[in-house]
Each structure stands twice: as structure tokens, then as C-alpha cells.
Structure 1
């Protein structure tokens, strides 16, 4: 019957709440559908608010504490809260006059309100989608970020207290770069949020009492991030793990000057269930790592950057951590092949290995890894200058499950290594080659012929790589979707045309490939209609013809970089924006023939634009007023 409420009278709160949650899980249109649900009546709005589980706040500004209070009062069921001061701080850089807002976040705004679609923004009651992230910026849009100066404040312990009292069911809390909070705020969290399982304090200045209180009050804590945390000492971490170490599964302590072996000894003594550990410290010695290895035998992921540690530390890891799957060793100066050999003998389940700036390692240790760790799927070698071709030959012979291979500044590795990789690693999907000066077309041909499942290929500064390699890739690797050829000066239109004909690329980076002309880009535009990312910076001979073809052939393009393209003009930009209606990011610095008119063309023609990098002097006042939040300026005055 018209005007009768047939739903509310029949459905109890529990059933209606379940309906709203199912609507929220409905996929791409869930946000719009939930907004509509919340506008039905006050009861529906109340239930929709009660179902919200996560919130993300950019909490810098003079109303940060008030915003957090309002959020905690209105959305009491919040289980995940992320507060990141970098969000508004970043938007204020580069002379942008307003905080960055994307998609639905454009339009009239007041601090503490929820951003809504245009068609319902005028309504007084503001619904939220329960399964989507809430983004709140406490800056009024009519007040420029850059003008706030010293009056701008940050989230403090007061706001954290509001959150603790309002959201007692909080399970995950992330406080990133929240420089104004202290132990007082953490004590409030510890007193009220007993269900806390994850705590991220990256770059917060927290004292010992706060960490100790978390340990005493949050016995369910499983994940703790203390990257760049200052203001505390070993006492704080030791006090925490003594109280809740049994539940701790993941711990990251990086770039903290206070961290010593005493903390690691406490972790090893009180955290028997630890599975993930990341440690970066100049003060940690071998004894600390040995304590971890002996006490945390459930370790599956270990990431270390400890200059003072030596072979004894990794010997212990190999002896006591048989479940280890992911190992990352960075900037180690004191360990040799002996250490990695111990790892290979003891950690048979190793799937991921990162060796970064480990100068004393040679082919011998990687041979032991290849023979012992048959499950190896991802290998990254960076700056290990003593590694030669023999090391990779062993990987090719003994690791048939290899999926990703990354070689960065490995000048001694030659083409012969890739013959074995091509023969033995047929499942390889991702290959990164950066500053590997001896690798040429022959190496890439071996990869193409043997690794036909390749989906991503990235070559940077491949001065010996040319069209022969690309033709072989195009002929054999039909699944290739991402291709990077930065400063590969031998690549020309012929190789690029072969790729365009056979590989429907989604991402393409041609920065610095000087031989590429309009003809090559025309082939890409006509052969890769699903392209979403394109970097054609430092292509000095391309013209407006290339941009016109891209505009016609790549309607899904979202990001483009065309800096240092001296022949591109405003006319080419007009053709580009006419066809690429999805464009969100554009970089075009040092394009001498692009003027303020071209900048205005991009701003007016790309309604989804989120970032535009350009010289500041090319931006007119009208464009600045219209697109302040999306503008980023290159500093040319240095």
C-alpha cells in the first residue's frame, strides 16, 4: 500500500544489519548502494553507521582531535583505524593551495564531514559505506594549507583518548608520522582497547611508558611496527615483549638508534611464536641475531640490515630456523659464503632471497642455495659485485620453480648465464635487469625462447639491448603485459612495432630510448588499446602525431609522462585529452613548446586528473584556482 512502511515493520535490526553488510560486499557499486541505504530513514542510517569497520584519516590540522572525536562517536564499531599525517602534509607541498582530494571527494566541504557523491551531498545526514575506507581531511577547503603556518597542529593525545573511549573494539591501529602523540595517548589505548591485535607506530616519538602499557594492556597484540620510532630505549621494547610476547607474530624495528642486542635477546626469550621479523640497526651485533634464532624457531620471514653482524649470526639462523621462507640481507659487510651456505643447508623451504650490497659473497654460496633450496621462487641480487655468471647458471639448473629474477648492478654477469635460466626456469614471469652492462640481445633471446610465460620485463640502462631482443620477446612471449626499456639506446621503431603486434601491453616505459619516433608510438597506439601507463620522457624526436595516435588508440590510459619532449606542443595535448578521458596523472616538465594554454587544456579536459607535474611559471592564475589540489611543481630555481 502506498505510503506504508512494509520493511521496517517486518525486519528486526539483526536481519537488516545483515542485509546492509551484504550490500556493502557487492563489489564496484557497493559505495553508491550503501549511500542510498543510509538515506532511507534514520534507522537505516544508524545501522549503516554501526556496520562501518574501517576508517582512514589524514589527521593534520587545527581540528584533528575534534575530527577523531566525531569519528569515534559516530562509528563505534570501528575495528581498523589508520591516521597518517603525511596525507595532508604531502598535499601542501609543491605550492598546492588545497589538500588533495580524489573522485567523490571534490566539492563543498567542511571539517569532520564525510565526502559524498554529488547527487546526495546536499543532504544533512551523511551516510558511509561499511566496507570502504573513510578518508577525512580536517582542513577546510577555503583555507590554504600553506597559509596555516605555525598555527597548524597535529593529532595529539587528546584525540587518541577520544578514539580509545569511543572504539573499545579496536583491533588494528596505525599511527604514521603522528609526531605530537606521546606515551599518554598509548596508555589510553592500552586501558580501553583490549582487543588490539595490530599496532603501527611508524615515525612516532613514543616513550618507554607507552610501549610498556601496551604490553600490559593488549595481551592479544600480534603485529607491531616500530620503524623510525624515537623517544624510547631498550627498556620500552623489553617491557612490552615481557608482557605480550607470547602473542606477538610480527615485529619490525628499523632505524631506531636505541635498539641494541638487549632488545633482541628479550624478543628471543619471550616471543616463541614470532614468524616475521625486520631489523635495521647499526648497533646490533651477532649475539642479538643468535638470540633471535635460538628463541624464535617459528620464523618464516627475516629481513636484516645489521652491519655489525657476521657469519656466526647467519650460521645460527641456518641451524635453528628450518621454517624460514623469506630472507632479505641488506648491506652486510661482515659475512661471507660460509653464512649463506649455512642458510642453504638448514632452510630448505626458502622461497624468497634478497642479497643487497653483500660484497663478500661469490658464486660458491649461491650454488649451495640453488642445490639445496629447490622451492626458490624469487631472487634479487643487487650490488653484489663478486657474483658472476656461474651463480645464475646454478639457479637455472636447480631451481625450476623460479618466478621472479632481479639483477641490479651486477657487472660481471654475462649472456651465458641466461642460457641456463632459459632452459631451466620455464615458469619465469618477471625479469628485472638494471645496470647490467654485459647483457645484450643474446641474453634476452635465451629468456624469450625458454620463458614463454613472461609477463613483466624491465631493462634499465641496457646499452647493449636492441631490436633483436624485442623481436624475440614479441615472437615468444605473448603474455607480456608490462615492458620497461629505460635508456636502451639501441631500441628503435622496428623492435617496438614487433612488440605492438604480438603483446597487448598494459604498461610501457620508453624513457630515454632516443631512436623511437612517431612511427613506433603509432604502432603501440594501434596495437595496445588496453594501455594504462605510458612513459615517453626524453624522446626528443616525437611530435604531436604520436600524441594524436595515443589519444585515438589508448582510451584506457591513466598515466602518461612526456617530460623532456621538445617537439610536443599544445596541439598534441588537445588530441591526447580528447581521447584519453580516464587520464589521472600527467608529467610534462621541460617541454619547451608547451605553454600555459596546454596546461589549461590538460586541466579542463581531464575530469579525473589527480596529479599534474609541470613548471610553476606555466600555470596561469585561473588554472591554479581551478586545479590547485592536483598541481605539483618542479623546483627550477636551484
Structure 2
């Protein structure tokens, strides 16, 4: 080439690697990336250069992955249904020295062959770790936490769940993380009330805390968080009972969530505590108070609404609320997400919310009663931008009221389980909501045909458990009309393997739930697994023909 410089072999390889890296970077999932790495060395190098998260689901793939993928910054080992060993973790730690995020374990499967040694490997060789999540590791205890505190100085996010060997010494180790901003403790540990106090005393930089510790008393821990953590923005509590007034000295909260499935004693004086917290945290954007029995009075709810005008999310166990409290909701001009669980409508409050023009994004009215068609119509008309609507077990509306959901054309998620919705109203909704992605219709006895469901042609998730209209002869229509379906639940229906075979046209199907479908013997599931390349999970409740074990 006249006047030009001849391209060397190294220039060509470097250029090719750059082009291939761009191509590989467009791949959507880990399976495709792993497949690309098998093409040739050039493609393997391109995949290795991607600083992307890696999710592994099989021990067999570990040796190959650690050889071909060196630039991993996030490692997810939570998809395993087989026991991992310490040596597996040591292999990963030795190979992925640039890790910033690590997740190990899953809630419903104990990894009881992983010990402190496996976690210590990451503490010693992955000094750049910033986030770690350890779930259901019964043999991982204080030594592992102490090692992490010494080896991972940059760690700012920690999520520990169901690690039963951890004692207060682990809490002492947690207190040594000088950069800790987010902490979640959930499930069974060997922590004590006095040990939990140290978190607020020593971790002054905490911004987000989630505590779900069963029967462990956390009153003193709440007091230490309120006084010792001036940057605390998010506090989430799932507890049996606690003295929430201990939080009255906290003034930095933006999000406050309390959940309990037990009724609390009146001596807890929840009204006083909640009002004190609201007055001290006037910049609250999220207030969620879901305690069994709905113990907050109209006065307490009104106090929260008036004290926190910036609220964007309000979630209440609303069994005892009256129209007086509901009408105060209209003062929250920034409100986007509203949940009123268990509400007994008085006839005016819901209509007022619909008429005030809040423009809600999500609205939940589960287990509500006496809701009239006119109220539902007013709510839909005033919130046409709704993306999420949950009316599970909402009693009162008829087909006329449910048909007005069609006004919300942007809806993505809809739950009408255990309601009086019927075929006519479903067809009306489908005509106005063309892009619905998730639909739940559990125990909908007035729906008589699957054909009314298949008019939602953009569905990605469909749940029709305990619905008598679900039969084999309708599943081919589901496959034909809903080609993007990824998640399907058919629990407690009379479908058989013949019906499941008709779902093989759902090429994007990933998960199937056929719990208590006693006519499913296995052949249909095998056919789906062979035909659908993305299929990876099935939930059963009975033994398949030829299977030695019950599957779940």
C-alpha cells in the first residue's frame, strides 16, 4: 500500500480482539458468554476481558470458567442445588482477584460443606471486595468474619442470612469495617441483644440497616442506631415486637419499614412512637407499617401524613382506618406508591384519592372489602399512569368495576386473584392494556375460558393456580398467543403431560410450576426442557414416574 505502514500480525490480532470484545459485550446472558468463550482463543480472551458479573450454577463448570474468565468483578454462587466445597471457593478466590461483589448460598438450601476456610480464601486473596452476601451457611462463623474484617478493608455492603454459627464475636468483627454503609441481618444466628447494640455504637457510617432476627430483642439496638448512626437513611425491621419509641432520636431517615405477622400489645403505644418518628424525620419518602391487626389509629396515620409531606411511598395495614384518614392522603402531592391492605371502604375515601390527581405509579388494595364499582372506576380514571395494580382478594367490585382497569394503558403488573373478575372484564382490560407483562389470576372462579387470558399477548409471567378453566386444550392457545412467556404457574389444576407438551412452542419459557397437578407424570416436563433452551426450573410437589425422590 503506497505510503502506508504494513499491518503487523500483532496489530491485526489486537484489532480483531477489539472487534470481538465489542461483539461479546452485546451478549445478553452468561450462557451465551460461556458459549462464545468456546469458539477459539481469541473469543475466549474477549470474554475474559469483560468486567461483568458471573453467575455459576454447576460445579462442573468451575474449572473451565476460572481458566477462561479472569476479569470477573461480581461472582454469584447462589444458583447451586448441589453442595459446594471449600476447595471450590478457594479455586474461585485464587482466580478472581479483582472481585468486588460476592454472593454465596440460597435461603432454601443449606450449604453445609462450606466452612470458615472457604470464606477465608476470599478474605486473603480478594482484598478489593466491596459487597458480600452469605446465605444459609451453617458452618461459617466468627473466624470467617474476623478474616474478612482484616482482609477486605473496602467492604461497604454486608448481607448475612441464616448463618447459625455466628456469635457476638462476628458482630465485633462487623464493627471493624470502617467503610460499612449497608448491613442486613436476617434469620437465625447466635447473636444476643447486648451484642447487637455494638452495631449502632461502632458503625457510625451506616446508611442502610435491615434486621429480621425472629425473637431476639432489639430495643436497645434500635436506641443505639438512633443515637450512633447520624447518616442512617433506610431502616427496615421485620420483628415480633419492639419498643419503636427508642427510634425517636433518629432524625436522618428517608425510608422506614416495619413488618410483623403478630399483633402487638397495646402497651407498646405505637401511635405515640410512630408520630414521634415522623416528626423527627420530616424528610421521610417511604413509610411502611404492616403490623398484623392494623393497630395505627386515624390520628397516628394523619400525624405521619402531615409531618412528612415528601412521602412517595405509603404502605399500611389499613383494617381500622376510616375515610377521615384516607382523605388526608391527598395532601401527599409526591405520592407514587400506595398500599392499603385490609381496608374496609367507607364509600368516600377511595373516591377522594382517585379525584385528587396524585398520579400513582403503583396501587395495592389487597384483602379489602366493600369497594364499590364507582370507587374503582374513579381510582383508575384518576391514575391512568399506573404500572402496578394489586387487587388480590378485593371484595365488592363487579365485572363493571374491573373493566375500568382498561383506562390504565401503561399497566405492567396486575393481580386479580380471588376476585369476581370474569371473561368480559378480562377482555375489556386486554383491549386497553396492550403491554401487560405479569398477570395473576389465582382462584378466579368466574373466568370460564383461557382464551380471555391469551388476549394479553405480551405476557412474560402468568399465574393461574386453582383455576378450573385451565385445561390441556387451552395450553396450545397460551403457547401460540403468548410467545414471550417466561414464567408459568399451573398449580392445583387438572393439566396433564399432554397439555404440557403443547407448551413446547413457548421457546422463551424459563420456569414452570405444576405443584399438586397429580396428572403430570413427567413426560411433558421433559419435552419442555428439550424444546425450550432457556428452561431451567420446575416446581413439583409429587414424585414423577421413574423418579426416586420427590422434587420441589
Q: Shorter chain as normaliser: what TM range?
A: 0.7 to 0.9
Aligned partner of 1:78 in structure 2 is: 99
The CA distance in 2 between the partners of 1:261 and 1:431, in whole Å, is 36
User: Which ranges in structure 2 are unaligned for 5 or more consecutive residues?
Assistant: 51-68
SS where residue 551 of structure 2 aligns? strand
Cα deviation digits, residues 176-200 of structure 1 (max 9, x gap): 1122122221111111111000001
List aligned pairs for 1:71-470, cutoff 5 A: 71-86=92-107, 89=110, 153-205=112-164, 206-216=166-176, 218-245=177-204, 247-290=205-248, 294-295=249-250, 297-305=251-259, 307=264, 308-331=268-291, 334-356=295-317, 358-370=318-330, 372-385=331-344, 387-449=345-407, 451-463=408-420, 465-470=421-426
* Counterpart-to-counterpart distance in 2, 1:547 and 1:584: 16
Deviations, residues 523-559 of structure 1 (Å, cap 9, x unaligned): 765x555444444555556655433444444444434
8 Å contact 1:287–1:313 — kept in the other structure?
Answer: yes
CA distance in 2, matches of 1:564, 1:44: 47
Q: Structure 1 residue 31 and structure 2 residue 52: aligned?
A: no
Change (3 A) 1:173 1:471: closer
1: distance between equivalents of 2:543 and 2:38? 44
Q: Is the 8 A contact 2:395 2:419 kept in 1?
A: yes
Aligned mates of 2:491, 2:381 — CA distance in 1: 40
**Corresponding residue for 1:583?**
509
Q: 5 Å matches for 1:59-74?
A: 64-74=85-95
Q: Check conservation: 1:309, 1:334, Cα contact below 8 A.
A: no
Note the 1:14-53 alignment, pairs <5 A: 25-28=25-28, 31-32=33-34, 35=37, 39-40=41-42, 49-53=69-73
Distance 2:109 2:6 in 1: 49
- 1:358-403 CA-to-partner distances (Å, cap 9, x unmatched) read 5443222222222x21111111111244x53322122113342212
Distance 2:423 2:377 in 1: 19
Tell me if the contact between 2:38 and 2:44 (Cα under 8 Å) persists in the aligned partners. no
Q: More displaced, 196-205 or 309-318?
A: 309-318
5+ residue gaps, structure 1, are 90-151, 492-514, 634-638
Kindly indicate whether the alpha-carbon contact (under 8 Å) linking 1:374 and 1:401 is maintained by their aligned counterparts in 2.
no
Partner of 1:97: none
Would the aligned equivalents of 1:60 and 1:155 in 2 still touch at CA under 8 Å?
no
The verdict on how the C-alpha distance between 1:214 and 1:469 changes in structure 2, with shifts beyond 3 A counting, is same
Give 1:232 deviation, angstroms. Answer: 1.4
**Closer, same or farther in 2 for the Cα pair 1:21/1:348, shift >3 Å?**
farther
1:523-602 residue pairs with structure 2 within 5 A?
A: 530-538=458-466, 540=468, 544-563=472-491, 565-566=493-494, 571-577=498-504, 579-588=505-514, 597-598=523-524, 600-602=526-528
Change (3 A) 1:350 1:60: same
Equivalent pair of 2:543/2:551 in contact (CA under 8 Å): no
Distance 1:40 1:360, change over 3 A: same
Could you say if the C-alpha distance between residues 304 and 213 of structure 1 is closer, same or farther in structure 2, counting changes exceeding 3 Å? same
CA distance in 1 between partners of 2:474 and 2:45 (Å): 56
Q: TM-score, with normalisation over the residues of structure 2?
A: 0.81
Aligned ranges 1:610-621 → 2 under 5 Å: 610-613=536-539, 616-620=542-546
Contact 1:309–1:335 under 8 Å retained in 2:
no
The CA deviation at 1:470 is 3.4
Instruction: Give aligned pairs, total.
Output: 518
Relative to structure 1, is the Cα distance of residues 178 and 26 closer, same or farther in structure 2, using a 3 angstrom cutoff? Answer: same
Q: Is the contact between residue 61 and residue 153 of structure 1 (CA under 8 Å) also seen in structure 2?
A: no
Partner of 1:506: none
Partner of 2:62: none
In 2, Cα distance between equivalents of 1:63 and 1:601: 30
Return closer, same or farther for 1:7/1:50 CA change in 2, 3 Å cut-off: farther
Runs of at least 4 residues of structure 1 off by over 6 A? 1-4, 8-11, 18-24, 41-48, 59-62
How far apart in 2 are the matches of 1:574 and 1:42? 37
Are the equivalent residues in 1 in contact too, given 2:37–2:45 (CA < 8 A)? no
Higher relative contact order (CA 8 A, sep 6+): 1
Secondary structure of 1:210's counterpart equals helix
Q: CA RMSD in A?
A: 3.7
| 1:171–1:562 distance in 2 versus 1, CA, 3 Å | closer
Q: Secondary structure at the match of 1:173?
A: strand
Q: In 2, Cα distance between the equivalents of 1:197 and 1:184?
A: 19
